[in-house]
Amino acid sequence: MGWVRTIRTGGFWTRELWPDVELELGKLCIQRKDTTLAMEHLQRCLKFWSNADADDRRSGEARAILTQLTKGR
């Protein structure tokens, strides 16, 4: 189970792939009308991208979706 350790300790998985997975899971949860779980996934991906450039498309998309979800609460 070396791949689990890779995800937890960093490297390419954490920097590049894992935040994208969280973003996509958030979008899928929205389609399933599970906004609570969607917000959790989006918040996780934004933790990875907390230092992203302001013009980064992926982090901007996650922020915009999360903002829309929190307006309804």
Q: How many domains does the chain have?
A: 1
Cα angle: 15, vertex 43, 52; to 5 degrees? 45
Confidence (pLDDT) at 15? 64
Confidence (pLDDT) at 12? 60
Element (H, E) at 7: helix 2-9
pLDDT tens digits for range 5-61? 444 555 666 567 888 999 999 999 999 999 999 999 999 999 988 888 888 899 999
**pTM, entire model:** 0.77
Confidence (pLDDT) at 44? 93
Count of CA atoms in the C-beta half-sphere (13 A) of 45: 26
Confidence (pLDDT) at 7? 47
Structural domain that includes position 25: 2-71
